[in-house]
Chains A and B, each alone.
Chain A
């Protein structure tokens, strides 16, 4: 492990610190709301000459992602950040980035989508983009945001992956909350991150290539099949790069963190900052002899079905807490958990919970109540809502 500097940073500034160390060739971003302080801080690094990055301020997020696509196709290492409606406005171009196999890394501060107008934490933005062939990594705290960025850039640029990556953190709760963040020395991080050396890129005049040609009934399907292949490969490569990063940070980067799950009767599945709150509840309930645990998902795309089923199958009851909805259908995480367990011989009971939409506060007592309910075996095939006025 290496000597790290402990700084008081928000999740947004932790992302910017990672970007400073990565020193991307191009950052294209929309500079005002719903932008995050990530870009504000990074723009300061650019202005101060601390990084060599070409910063492109554009007139919309659609243009931001378009500029990222162009720069990445040209052969640059590219990063950006957005949130909420900004991500929504990028939608069309998100698919272009992944379809062209461009390893762009984008930080997301997860925030609600309009309407009604709301600025607070909610996972609807990135969950809505879950089927656009972007790898998605979710972060519990600012420390994870920092480290996930380092992992993400290597994963995206791996020659067998070449897919864009979103590094997600909870809007405001993480992005604007100050906490202790350990920053590893620049030289060690830069050595880990390395230089981006694309095999094919537009500015290589010795090996001319076309990006984004027309593919109709002839080849489109095959191209999409290749994206799936890349996602599949990303699973293993995620773990490999994670192991390498562990040697610097001393922390582990599994697909998920299984907290007190081994002998647990009840497990709650949750992502981002609420996993931290849930762990506090687990410790308290464990002290009272209650066998409860938390499964915090780190890698949501590609989804680690088998490994998750392996952790969950021995529990009696699983509660899945989603901070977004898929209206008229099962909530995103709940769906995947249910899918994971279909092939399992042992099938725990499942309950879907929706919580925290639009930043509605989630308290330890709420999570404790969910655990108590599940310990009593109270499950149904209907969604339940935490902290909602009915």
Chain B
């Protein structure tokens, strides 16, 4: 077991990869963990491929190198599979690949050539269904919780409530929480 649990999130500018990373680490911080969340910054352009990282540890985190060997890779935008080597550095023995797609994990394995644990969830479909907009970044967190033991669903729920309630109101906040739960239940794994 590594001292530091590391997550790499692939998304496109504007899809909320940064917010996803922040929700993850803020939830972990409440549990007394040491955390880091940092984007790989370019000029921020809506729609451009971007990467963001999260680290969670029981001990203080001192390294500032980019994450090279993630424990989890989350792909918020499935079109990135065609243009980015999303599984780079992901260990086939212990690593997990989580992709937002209606496709099966087997199909994703075929496409990426990744042989390790692969999870898929239609986070886009869920968000359109429940939120009425394409914001897959919160639902996909449900898949992360299902696939790893790093957080519990209630940790993320509390953070979503804290972060969103004032901004978007009770109804939409609850819808976001529903998204996480549904994604949690609908994850397919291979």
A194 on the B face (CB < 8 A)? no
CB distance from A284 to the nearest CB of B (A): 11
Q: Which one of A120, A177, A280, A363 contacts B36 once the chains associate, using CB atoms below 8 Å?
A: A177
Of A127-135, A270-278, A321-329, A373-381, the one with at least 4 CB within 8 A of chain B:
A270-278
Known contacts A178-B25, A178-B36, A119 near B41 by CB under 8 Å = yes
A363 to B26, CA, bound (A): 25
Q: Which residues A356-371 have CB closer than 8 A to chain B?
A: 359, 361-364
Closest to A140 in B: B62
Closest to A281 in B: B63
Q: Which one of A8, A170, A174, A363 contacts B22 once the chains associate, using CB atoms below 8 Å?
A: A8
B64 in contact with A8 (CB, 8 Å): no
Q: Which residues A153-186 have CB closer than 8 A to chain B?
A: 170, 172-174, 176-180
B34 on the A face (CB < 8 A)? yes
Known contacts A8-B22, A8-B25, A8-B26, A177 near B63 by CB under 8 Å = no
A203 on the B face (CB < 8 A)? no
A101 on the B face (CB < 8 A)? no
Q: Which residues B58-92 have CB closer than 8 A to chain A?
A: 60-66, 68
B38 in contact with A180 (CB, 8 Å): no
A277 in contact with B62 (CB, 8 Å): yes
B140 on the A face (CB < 8 A)? no
B68 in contact with A178 (CB, 8 Å): no
B37 in contact with A177 (CB, 8 Å): yes
CB distance from A78 to the nearest CB of B (A): 30
Please encode chain B, from 13 to 56, with 1 for each CB lying within 8 Å of some chain A CB and 0 for all others: 00000000110011001000011111101010000000000000
CB distance from A355 to the nearest CB of B (A): 12
A279 on the B face (CB < 8 A)? yes
A50 on the B face (CB < 8 A)? no
B65 in contact with A178 (CB, 8 Å): no
A-B contact count (CB 8 A): 62
Which residues on B sit within 8 Å (CB–CB) of A209? none
Which residues on A sit within 8 Å (CB–CB) of B41? 119-120, 172, 176, 359
B26 in contact with A176 (CB, 8 Å): no
A186 to B44, CA, bound (A): 35
B62 in contact with A176 (CB, 8 Å): no
A6 on the B face (CB < 8 A)? yes
A180 in contact with B29 (CB, 8 Å): yes
Known contacts A6-B29, A120-B41, A180-B29, A364 near B35 by CB under 8 Å = no
CB distance from A138 to the nearest CB of B (A): 14
CB distance from B158 to the nearest CB of A (A): 14
Chain A: number of interface residues, binned into ranges: 20 to 34
B68 in contact with A363 (CB, 8 Å): yes
Known contacts A8-B22, A119-B41, A119-B43, A274 near B64 by CB under 8 Å = yes
Which residues on A sit within 8 Å (CB–CB) of B68? 363
B63 in contact with A364 (CB, 8 Å): yes
B22 in contact with A361 (CB, 8 Å): no
Which residues on B sit within 8 Å (CB–CB) of A120? 41
Which residues on B sit within 8 Å (CB–CB) of A279? 62
Which residues on B sit within 8 Å (CB–CB) of A177? 36-38, 64
A55 to B66, CA, bound (A): 36
A172 to B41, CA, bound (A): 7
Q: Which one of B34, B37, B38 contacts A173 once the chains associate, using CB atoms below 8 Å?
A: B38
Closest to B38 in A: A177
A178 in contact with B64 (CB, 8 Å): no
Which residues on A sit within 8 Å (CB–CB) of B60? 180
CB distance from B38 to the nearest CB of A (A): 4
A6 to B37, CA, bound (A): 15
Which residues on A sit within 8 Å (CB–CB) of B63? 276-277, 280, 364
Which residues on B sit within 8 Å (CB–CB) of A174? 64
Q: Which residues A322-364 have CB closer than 8 A to chain B?
A: 359, 361-364
Q: Which one of B29, B43, B65 contacts A8 once the chains associate, using CB atoms below 8 Å?
A: B29
A276 in contact with B64 (CB, 8 Å): yes
Q: Which one of B35, B39, B43, B66 contacts A180 once the chains associate, using CB atoms below 8 Å?
A: B35
CB distance from B179 to the nearest CB of A (A): 22
Which residues on A sit within 8 Å (CB–CB) of B21? 178
A290 to B66, CA, bound (A): 25
B36 in contact with A364 (CB, 8 Å): no
A173 in contact with B64 (CB, 8 Å): yes
Known contacts A6-B29, A8-B25, A178 near B38 by CB under 8 Å = yes
B64 in contact with A277 (CB, 8 Å): yes
A179 in contact with B62 (CB, 8 Å): no
A119 to B42, CA, bound (A): 8
Known contacts A173-B38, A178-B38, A180-B35, A364 near B62 by CB under 8 Å = no
Q: Which one of B25, B34, B62 contacts A276 once the chains associate, using CB atoms below 8 Å?
A: B62
Can you spell out 7 A-B residue pairs with CB atoms less than 8 angstroms apart?
A8-B35, A178-B21, A276-B63, A277-B62, A277-B63, A362-B65, A363-B66
* Pairs A-B, 10 closest by C-beta atoms: A177-B38, A276-B62, A178-B37, A273-B64, A363-B65, A280-B63, A8-B26, A277-B63, A277-B64, A172-B41
Q: Give the interface of B toward A (CB within 8 A).
A: 21-22, 25-26, 29, 34-39, 41, 43, 60-66, 68
Known contacts A178-B25, A277-B63, then 5 further A-B pairs from the complex at CB < 8 Å, ordered by chain A residue: A8-B37, A178-B22, A178-B38, A180-B35, A363-B66
